[in-house]
Chains A and B, each alone.
Chain A
Amino acid sequence: MNNRLRRSRAGNPKGGALANAIAVAFCLVWVFPVYWMVNTAFKPRSEAMTSTPLFLPKSPTLSNFDAAINQTTFYRTLWNSLIVVGGTVLLAVVLGMFAAAALSRFRFRGRRAIMVAILIVQMLPGSALLIPTFLVFNRVGLLGTYAGLILAYVAVVLPFSIWVMRGFFIAVPVEIEEAARIDGASTWQILYKILFPLVAPGMVASSIFAFIAAWNDYLVAYTFMKDQDQYTLPVWLASFSTPITGTDFGGQMAGSVVFSLPVVVFFLIIQRKLVSGVSAGAVKG
């Protein structure tokens, strides 16, 4: 792929003035909401609510972060989020890996039907599951519990996690395993020394996906967790505005920065992997 990329770069006129101008304009527009969130987060209240907006805080302050984080509910909310996210990641990756191994290393009757079923489930709208899951969880007492929320998230993430890890399993040639077996490796050694290291990137990819899905979800948590001490971060963040006091935009923007940060960091780290993954199929000749 590098070879091709280099050639394609040589083929196009690079860095033309017009292209650069458009790129700068695009960047300004697209980064603006992010910039405005950060900008507001560091403004004291008197500077946030001005009729002529300030493009940089005059006297930058951390008081918004303070106000957000020192709300008595913040740590409780963070804790809720961490437990739910951790549980989701763990279950999605472990169950996903088992299933992916089955679907890639074995041929058996019904395999194709299961793959199609997984694809369909992956495409099902989460909102369709919301009503019946709510009713069932209401009946069995899982509403407002960590276990209920984790289960709901795992259901959403699992098909994808299986699908991704299956790709990584398939990429490992059977010949490697056969060679190891001939050299006298046990099944466990083959798994531990050959298969796991080779599919580790798939486990990382599914964990990150599960993390982001559970961390970001608003709808399910908003519907299932009605008590304030059950809130997860997104619900807590959205509930910053109350009809009585109005919205504390400084605090809300500071909260948004804190809440977005882990996701942004993940995206920046894995961005290249995401994109090269998309083109991987085309690279393979």
Chain B
Amino acid sequence: MTTQPLAGTSRTSGLRPHTSPRRRPSWAPWWLLSPAGLVMLTVTAAPIVFLIYTSFTDYSQRSLFTGTYHQVGLRQYTALFDDPQFWQALLRSVLFTAAMVAGSIAVGTAVAQLLTRLATAMRLTVTIVLVLAWAMPTVASSLVWKWLFQPGYGVVNWLLTQAGVFGDMTDTDWANDPFLAYLSIWLLIVWQAVPFIALTLYAALTQLPLELQEAARLDGAGEFRVWWSVTLPFLRPTLMLVALLSVIWDFNVFNQIWLVSSGGPDSATTTLGIFAYRTAFVAFKIGQGAALSVITTAILVAITALYIRNLLRSGEDL
């Protein structure tokens, strides 16, 4: 999850005109494809089929040992739809994703814009700081977060107490308050997502033809107007890309929530991913967990379809 910009690499290099690959029909491409194809069939395609199949069974912990389970038709799905916890988790996932994406994109865009206004030394400093935050593995950053927000010893609590705006926060337990647990995870995700977004948008901004901005200024447009009418439309394709990728990643966030709050307090931060994991691997209701995963995947595939349609529209040559 930390090497996102390469996705951009692959996307943009696809924009190059095709250098007329060889046309003679041959079996060579199929031989070349078969090892990768075999791996993807056995470890991706087959499991997905199996996942859908499992979601129609009552696979449980016992089945893991005995291998016996029964077809239950749509019962796992209807049970989920009757379960208020499912709807809460779904709503949580959607709202949380929206909040994380909005926060990351807003800060990322601002930082990209900031980078264009900095002299070389300062720009390099900001870039290095961004790369440091970006490179931190999520396990490491989640553990650091837990430490930063530790009641009694956490430096964030201390800083906030010193600032005096919210009173004495020394013993505030972030993981034990639904809103604060969300807030700290939101901060963690935004902290880690901004670098990719900022650097990608900055790379796009360096390509902005200055003639356009100058022309707008000559026509008497103010700085905000220039940004809104010239810069923003120019950034739109890149913004769309990073927004869609962020939606997909943030909807799927697991590590950070699991390690920081484990879905608590009292399942207040239990998003769909956490809910599915708990159902399948803690309660060992594997059939039900499979149904949850199918639903989550369907939502993400719908978003992915949007993404691919977007690629095709932008002239990507597949």
Contact = CB atoms under 8 A, between A and B. Distances in A.
A280 interface: yes
A116 B10 CA distance: 14
B267 to A, nearest CB: 17
Interface stretch (A56-64, A66-74, A148-156, A188-196): A148-156
B165 interface: no
B44 A279 contact: no
B3 to A, nearest CB: 5
Interface string B242-283: 000000100110110011000000000000010011001100
B62 to A, nearest CB: 13
A164 interface: yes
B119 A132 contact: no
A12 interface: yes
B90 interface: no
B139 A124 contact: no
Interface string B276-318: 1100110000100110011011001100100110010000001
Contacts of A209: 3, 6
Contacts of B23: 107
Interface string A6-26: 011001111110011011001
A105 B118 contact: no
A37 interface: yes
A248 to B, nearest CB: 11
A127 B293 contact: yes
B218 interface: no
A138 interface: yes
Interface in A111-164: 111-112, 114-116, 118-121, 123-136, 138-139, 151-152, 154-155, 158-160, 162-164
A185 to B, nearest CB: 16
B286 A27 contact: no
Contacts of B40: 118, 121, 155, 158-159
Given A107-B22, A168-B13, A275 B119 contact: no
A59 B146 CA distance: 24
A231 to B, nearest CB: 12
15 contacts: A33-B136, A33-B191, A95-B39, A102-B33, A121-B44, A124-B48, A125-B300, A129-B48, A130-B293, A131-B54, A134-B281, A234-B139, A271-B127, A278-B12, A280-B9
Interface of A: 1, 4-5, 7-8, 11-16, 19-20, 22-23, 26-27, 30-31, 33-34, 36-37, 40, 48-53, 91, 94-96, 98-99, 101-108, 111-112, 114-116, 118-121, 123-136, 138-139, 151-152, 154-155, 158-160, 162-164, 166-168, 170-175, 205, 208-209, 212-213, 215-216, 218-219, 223, 234, 237-238, 240, 247, 249, 252-253, 256, 259-260, 263-264, 266-268, 271, 274-284
